[in-house]
Amino acid sequence: MKLYERKSYPGILVLLLSLLGFSFPAGVTQFSMVAGDLAGEMGVPVQTVLIADSLRAVCLVSAMFLSGYVYKRLGMRRTIILGVLFQVVSQFSVPAAVSLRSLPLLFIFKGMQGLNALAFPLYISVITQWVDRRYCGLATAVFNGSFTAGAGIGAWAVGRLVPVSGWRASFYLIGGICLLFALPVLLTVRENPARSGCTERLQKKKNVYGTIIRNPATWLLVVMLVANTWVAQAVTVDMSVFAQHLGYSYEQTGTLMLLISVVTVVSSILGGWVSDFFAARSENSVRTRSLILAAGYVLSAAAAAVLSSAAVRSIYALTLAACAMMSGVSWSAGVFWALPSEIYSAEDNVAGTAFCSGASNIPNPIAPAVVGVLLGTRGYWTAGWMTCLFVSLLSAAAAAAVAGRQK
C-alpha cells in the first residue's frame, strides 16, 4: 500500500509540512538579527542591508500571485521543488555575497529567498485536499503556527550561535535545517487523486483568477489577512532590532523571539481548534469562523496600544506585550486558512488561496520598511507599533463584514 493510501497520510502530511514551516521562516529573523554584522562586513549602513530583506518580501508577494499559474503548468510537486530550491540555495549563498562585498549578489540571493513562496499556497491547498473538512481549521492552524514558530527558532539559534561561532555559521545552520526538513516533503507530498477532475478543469481554464477576482468575498478575505501579514512581518523582522535598540542583549532578544513563537503557535492551534469546534455546531460555519477570527485581531490591537510603554520598563513587560500582540494575529491566522476551501469551489481552491495569499501579503515588504526602516531607525518606534493597532482593527472590521454577509 502506498503511503498516500494510508488513513494516517493526512496526519503525516500535516506533520511534515509543519516541520518545513519551522525551518523556512527561521531564515528571516536570522537575517534580521545579523543585519548589523553584515553591514559592518560590507561597509554599508544597516538600512541598506534591511532593504535587501524588503526585496525578499517583494519577491515573496510576487511569487504568491504567480503560484496559481506555475502550479497550472508544473503541477504540485514540481512547484514545491522549485520553491524549496529557491530557499535553500539562497540561504547558503548569502555569506558568499557578503564576503565579496557585493550588494547586487546580496539582493539577488535575498530575492530568491522570497521566491520560495511559490509553494506556500500549495501547502495550504494540499492540506485541505486531504484533511477531513471537520478538522481543516486545526490542521491548517498547526501548519500556520509552525511558520510563526520558525521565526522564533531562528532568533533563538542565532542568539546562541553567533557569539560562539560567528554570523556565517547561522546561515549554514538554518540552511541545513531547511534542507533536512524539505527532503521528506518532496518525497511524500501528493495531490489527492479524488481531486484530479478539479485539477483538469483548472488546467483548461484560460483565466485562472477571473472568477476569484470577481467574487466580492475575495477582497474581504484579503483585508482579513492583511493584519496578520503586517503585524507578523513587523514582529519577525523588526522586534529583534527594537529590542537591541533598547539595549537588550543577543541572548535576551533571542529568548524574546522564541517565547513569542511558542505563545503564538499555541494561539494559532487553539484558534483553529476552537473554530472547528463551533463551526461544526453552527448553521453557518463561515460566519462562525469569521467572528472567532475577529476576536483575535481585537486582542492584537489592544496589545499594540501598550507595547511601547511596556518595552521601556523591562524585557519581561516587552515579552508579555509582544506575545499578546502576536498571539492575537496568530489566533486569527489559525482560523483563516479553513475559510477559502469553504468559500471557493474545489477547482478554484488553489487559485483562490494563492490570490488571497499574494494580495494580503502586499504589506509584507511595506510593514518592516515602515515600522523598522522609516520609523524605527529614526527613533519613532511608538508610531511604528501604532500602525499594527490600526491594521488589526481594519482586519477585524473585514471579518465582521464577512460574518454580516452570511446572515
**Count of structural domains within the chain:** 1
Residues 68-99 as b or e (16 or more Cβ within 10 Å = b)? bebbbeeebbebbbbbbebbbebbbbbbebbe
Contact 306, 341 (CB under 8 A): no
3-state secondary structure of 319: helix
CA distance 37 to 96: 14
pLDDT of residue 201: 52
DSSP state at residue 215:
-
Which cell goes with 351? 487559485
Q: For cell 516541520, name the residue.
A: 19
Query: DSSP characters for 92-111?
Result: HHHHHHHHTT-HHHHHHHHH
Residues 386-405 as b or e (16 or more Cβ within 10 Å = b)? bbbbebbbbbbebbbbbbee
Residue 9: domain span: 3-405
Closest to 21 measured CA to CA, from 125, 157, 152, 160: 152
CA distance 405 to 126: 28
Kindly report whether the global pTM for this prediction surpasses the value 0.75. no
* Residue 361 C-alpha from the chain's centroid: 9
In angstroms, what CA-CA distances link 41 with 169, 170, 244, 257? Answer: 15, 15, 19, 25
Please give the chain's pLDDT, 407 residues, in tens: 677 778 889 889 999 998 888 888 888 878 878 888 899 889 998 878 888 887 887 888 888 888 878 887 888 888 999 999 999 999 999 999 999 999 999 999 999 999 998 888 888 888 888 888 788 888 888 887 787 677 667 777 777 788 888 889 889 988 998 999 999 988 888 887 776 545 555 555 555 667 778 888 888 888 998 998 899 888 877 888 888 888 888 788 878 887 887 888 889 889 989 999 998 888 888 899 999 999 999 999 999 999 999 988 888 999 999 999 999 998 998 898 888 878 877 667 777 777 887 788 788 778 877 888 788 878 889 999 999 999 999 999 999 998 887 76
CATH number reported for the structural domain that contains residue 310 in this entry: 1.20.1250.20
CA distance 18 to 90: 21
